[in-house]
Every structure is written in structure tokens, then in C-alpha cells.
Amino acid sequence: MTRLFDSAHVRRAFSRASATYAGAAALQRDIEAHLLESLDYLDDRVPEVVLDVGSGPAHAALAMRTRWPKARIVAVDLALPMLQQAPVRTGSGLLGKLGLQRPLDRVCADLRDLPFADNSVDVLFSNLCLQWVEDLPAAFAGFRRVLKPDGLLLCSTFGPQSLIELRESFGAADDAPHVSPFASIGAFGDALMHAGFRNPVLDREVAVHHHPDMATLMRELRAIGATNALATRRRAMTGRARFAAAAAHYEQFRTDAGLPASWEWITAMAWSPPHGAPIREGEQELARFPASAIPVRRRTTG
């Protein structure tokens, strides 16, 4: 498959944003909080292993550490400097004060190739990183591989209405792509079903944030690492004339509150299927079983 995104650029952008991300990621925190509330669907189940995939500075991982102090919580991110922003231990609560709370594990890895064993994870949490993946079915197949049967997947991504004003404005200035395409809620749900997840529940929300000018919006996007990472992007910096043309076009959207920036996000909850449920890989459907489930005939010799 031709890569839509330049993964090396994504890593560099989020590495550069590691020091500014926490202070600028207000929307990301709001969506994260919504996903964390969905952990209540586990009822009284206490997971042994939890992955926070695309963790950034591991805010959600630390929240889950507080919720389950004896579980193994693993923060996974493509950008090592992001992980370095996360404390290994929270030190909060009685277990933390007594030194009995397990440390937060940090793994620098690409979500498209998770370095974890099959059927080893109880909860996989992923807030707003799947928009950087061009092959959602493959990503979800990888998530399903590491999840135990009946494991919980909680994830989110940005939808196609995100930054439509910015997309149109740059489109009026030149023909080069400046804003990533985002999967629709239908495509997101189809990818989950394609990977064999059970009982998916998806929600979609849209909010509009306002900014004094386009330059301020662009600075905020850089502060969270959301720069143009398309493989087909123009490699040279956007010239002053093109930026000015885009900014002039953006002005038609101005309201009394400022320049609008639309954000659409999709959240999903689903459950990993039991062993033997088929999963589509390419044009084939495969079923996996644990080795322990394969009967072995033993012969005795007399």
C-alpha cells in the first residue's frame, strides 16, 4: 500500500511538540475524558494489562494507573520525547506512598506494528492517534491480535469535518494538500467490523473553536504536533504569498467570536471476539486459536 502519511515526519512533529503538547491539548483532554468514562462498562472487572496507544505524555495512562494501581499500564507512543514527559510513578495514593504501586511502563513503538504478544492485553485505549494511519482495518487487526478474547477497545479519531475552513482556504491558495483527510464514522465502523470486533458503539460530535487569526490557529496546531504529514505535501515551506492568500480566504468565515475552526471527532467502544472468530486479512478470512486449544494425540507404546 502507498503510504498516505510520512511516519518519520509524524514522529518528528510530535517529538518537537512534546514540551508544548500538554498545555495546548485542551480538546484532546476533553475527548480523552469521555473515553475514560467508558471504562465503567468493565463493571467490576480489573484488567491485568492495559495499553494506552498513542499516549503522548501519558495523561490517560496515569488516570488508568490511579484507577487500577495493581495493573500493568503501558504507555505506547511513536515519539520518544513524548514518553519522556510522563513520570514513571505517580506517587499518589496509599500504594504509591508505600512504594507498592506498579510503575508506568513506557514503550516507543508504531501502532501499526505493536511489539506485544497475541492475546496479552485486557484493555486497549487509543485517543486521537488513528487519524495518522492510512490503513484502519490493518490497525484494528493489530489491536485485535494483542487483545484477549472479550478485551475492551476504546478509541477515537478526528472526522472529515475537522478543519474544513482551513482546508478550503489553503485549497484556494494552491493545489498542494495541507490538511489530512479524515475517515468518516461509517468508514471507522466498517474497519472495526472488518477486523472482527463485536458490538461496536460509535459516537460523533462536532465543535467549533474560534481564533483571532489563522496564524494563531497554525501555532496551536504545531504546539500539539498536528502539522502537515502527508507524504505528497510540498517539502518547501509555505511561501508568504500562499499563506497570505489562504489567510485572506479564511476571513470570509469570520464571526463576532473570531475565525472558526471546526472539529469533528468519532469515539468507539468495541469488544474483542472469542478465539476462532474469523478476521479478514487482504482477500482471505483467517481464524486464530491458542496453541493450548489444539488437541494433541498421545501414543503409548508397550
* Count of other CB atoms within 10 angstroms of residue 41: 12
Averaged over 179-184, what is the pLDDT? 87
Element (H, E) at 218: helix 214-223
Q: What is the pLDDT of residue 54?
A: 97
Element (H, E) at 21: helix 21-24
pLDDT tens profile 188-208: 999 999 999 999 999 999 999
Q: Which residue pairs, CB below 8 angstroms and at least 24 apart, start in 9-12?
A: 9/227, 9/229, 10/78, 10/132, 10/225, 10/229, 11/78, 11/79
pLDDT tens profile 7-22: 898 999 999 999 999 9
User: Does residue 90 surpass a pLDDT of 70?
Assistant: no
User: Does residue 278 surpass a pLDDT of 90?
Assistant: no
Please name the residue that has the C-alpha cell 494489562: 49
Q: What is the pTM of this model?
A: 0.86
Residue 209: phi and psi, rounded to 5, are -105, 155
Q: Do residues 71 and 101 make contact, with C-beta atoms less than 8 angstroms apart?
A: no
The alpha-carbon radius of gyration of the chain (Å, integer) is 21
Q: What is the pLDDT of residue 302?
A: 45
